[in-house]
Structure 1
């Protein structure tokens, strides 16, 4: 595998320079370790996906009788890498996207592809636009470019590892390599390239809690298709890992796959934005959220390489990310209160709040009884412990209330 990957890496230098492997002082101090970040968010399309797409095109176009028109289905990083490479090679491409794709992603794909790429919006869901892309390929003879489940795509993603080896320098190997997993192309490529340098037990894979296709497949001893997927971590929200990728990763233990809640990922995104000024998409923050879950106890004194897979973040999502981060950190809670319908009842309630408690939302829901009314209230505070004092104050006042912060059904309907 190595000679082919090294050749792919060298060919990539005609497209863009290697992405940096940076020692992050902030995280290194926090975890008392050497934390290196492989910054795939600094590629021309702000994700590693350009690598696999470039390698796929490079090999196909080297064939004298190969196709000269291409198609893909994607609403994210694969579409942008595909478009960039189409323009680089001067070939025609069509990108199928769901109608619901954010305009920012459509505009960036169009910008990268220029006159060489056409965008077609089909269906409300990915499966519909994927089928439309397949139909287009069948009708026109265009070649479908898969997002992750292809040997040439895997080989292209493996160039991440080839760069890491040279950037760390001779004789240096990481104690831990942390990799995000969606379809598995990046993880399959990196582990395959590093298998002689890094023991299998030194890899840690990260998946969103709502899209645990690799972990469930390893637990099952065979491929599993998830019935439901949480799409918040959209760059890794895959219901079924690639067949080739699972074959490459099946030698690892399910215990080496860490599941991270979508809200925990948000905490990492906000931290990196506020402290380091680094903009990460949810999938790009997975490996760093894993470091937080491990903590200094498990990282102290180690050399760690964490792959930051992408930074294509739509800032229209920032309020939702901040909301999720605060709830996960215990700094924001939502309550439904039952207050007496009498003058001064609201003032009495406000007097129960502490000096650092701030009302972020207040909404009268309905009159639940003749003498009582229900209120939805959101409260933010500075440290989680303040909510313990607030609960004691509520109880002492005989206030009837329900904490709905972690009730997903109510939170999605009301909040």
Structure 2
């Protein structure tokens, strides 16, 4: 057994005085679908609904009582993990969060930390928040808690692997891991080594690991898409990358943000499981490795479930557009009696108008219509568009035009 494995096991044992192991659950729905033995490591069921408190706990226990004031910069799961541990250890925590952080996350952080923490809202963007946190540490002599680029944090996150091995009573054949800053993946890979196969999953809008492997060193991939906020990191941690440097670039995949939304809605509707976007990454990646995992034991790490339900309409919208059951068009409507009725007659029995805005300008023979249509099957749009063409209606499909979508969808 390596020194790292011994330390990871010791960290895991120490955690049992604070919180229990998160469940490792076999998922029959996914197992049947992919013809494999698929298990979900439910980090969304930790006390703070993510794995982040593991690293926070391990990093803090190593320096207490020498340090009694802890600082972090985070807009989400790391902040909540640190707050929870500050309350547990009875130490002071100062948590810097961007001004733009949703109130739900701020409130949860305060609930977890109680009287032991102070939340400071600084900066519109994370780099300003981080700079303010680090400056405070210098002035006050406080201990900065990195969300991922720290050996003690990596060691703490490796407790996920320790629990998987204990709960499964063996090492799985394949593990699928979401990647942001690299703390979780570095910990799991350092613990299991080459005893299993891996798939690392990143959002399209923040491919920090893939870019680092291509460059041979951590590289800033800004600007990033922050939708998958739990994995939206512009630059993988230096310590994390050193532990991941030897992985095969072909084992790293990226997924579109819209595609991830399909899994979020499916897991909610079919399984009753609430996942944040980063927590759904590993599950959505199954379809990318379906041939490779068939007949094997696979563990998907569901990294978190801190989902703000105010985002549900956006998630549903993205999922429908990606799966092809919802489209938006700019339709050129002739200015003649019966034109609208003719158009409505083209709609099929399963087609539903979900958006209709009509703009008629004077002295024009045509008017513009923004129209959104939902249907049950993507194939329904083929006959619909063919009838539009046959009837002479001019239209433009703007479903995947991100610039227009920001303004009109």
Same fold (TM over 0.5): yes
Q: How does 1:321-360 map to 2 (within 5 A)?
A: 321-360=315-354
* CA displacement, residues 311-368 of structure 1 (integer Å, 9 cap, x when unaligned): 0000000000000000111000000001011222111111111110000111124639
Contact 1:368 1:374 in 2 (8 A): no
Q: Secondary structure at the match of 2:378?
A: coil
Matched, 1:410 2:404: yes
What residue is the counterpart of 2:237 in the other structure? 242
Deviation of the 1:24 alpha carbon? 0.6
Matched, 1:174 2:168: no
Deviation of the 1:221 alpha carbon? 2.2
Over aligned residues, Cα RMSD in angstroms?
A: 1.2
* CA displacement, residues 8-33 of structure 1 (integer Å, 9 cap, x when unaligned): 00000011110111111111111111
Matched, 1:224 2:219: yes
Q: Secondary structure at the match of 2:295?
A: coil
Deviation of the 1:298 alpha carbon? 3.6
Where does structure 1 differ by over 4 angstroms across 4 or more consecutive aligned residues? none
What residue is the counterpart of 1:116 in the other structure? 116
* CA displacement, residues 60-116 of structure 1 (integer Å, 9 cap, x when unaligned): 11xx5x221111111100000000000000000011111111111011000000100
Deviation of the 1:122 alpha carbon? 1.3
- Which of 371, 376, 393 in structure 1 is aligned with 2:370? 376
What residue is the counterpart of 1:317 in the other structure? 311
**Structure 2, gaps ≥5 residues long:** none
**Structure 1, gaps ≥5 residues long:** none
Matched, 1:302 2:296: yes
Matched, 1:85 2:85: yes
Q: Secondary structure at the match of 2:222?
A: coil
What residue is the counterpart of 2:38 in the other structure? 35
Q: How does 1:266-277 map to 2 (within 5 A)?
A: 266-277=261-272
What residue is the counterpart of 1:183 in the other structure? 181
In the alignment, the residues of structure 1 paired with residue 157 and residue 217 of structure 2 have an alpha-carbon distance, to the nearest angstrom, of 24
What residue is the counterpart of 2:29 in the other structure? 26
- Structure 1 49/368 Cα, relative in aligned 2: closer, same or farther at 3 Å? farther
In the alignment, the residues of structure 1 paired with residue 138 and residue 312 of structure 2 have an alpha-carbon distance, to the nearest angstrom, of 40
In the alignment, the residues of structure 2 paired with residue 25 and residue 359 of structure 1 have an alpha-carbon distance, to the nearest angstrom, of 36
- Structure 1 247/366 Cα, relative in aligned 2: closer, same or farther at 3 Å? farther
In the alignment, the residues of structure 1 paired with residue 134 and residue 49 of structure 2 have an alpha-carbon distance, to the nearest angstrom, of 27
Q: Secondary structure at the match of 1:3?
A: helix
What residue is the counterpart of 2:164 in the other structure? 164
In the alignment, the residues of structure 2 paired with residue 237 and residue 40 of structure 1 have an alpha-carbon distance, to the nearest angstrom, of 18
Matched, 1:393 2:396: no
What residue is the counterpart of 2:279 in the other structure? 284
- Structure 1 67/360 Cα, relative in aligned 2: closer, same or farther at 3 Å? same
In the alignment, the residues of structure 2 paired with residue 89 and residue 60 of structure 1 have an alpha-carbon distance, to the nearest angstrom, of 11
In the alignment, the residues of structure 1 paired with residue 322 and residue 99 of structure 2 have an alpha-carbon distance, to the nearest angstrom, of 31
Task: Count residues with an aligned counterpart.
Answer: 406
In the alignment, the residues of structure 2 paired with residue 366 and residue 54 of structure 1 have an alpha-carbon distance, to the nearest angstrom, of 62
Q: Secondary structure at the match of 1:360?
A: strand
What residue is the counterpart of 1:5 in the other structure? 8
* CA displacement, residues 279-319 of structure 1 (integer Å, 9 cap, x when unaligned): 00000000001013334x34321110110000000000000
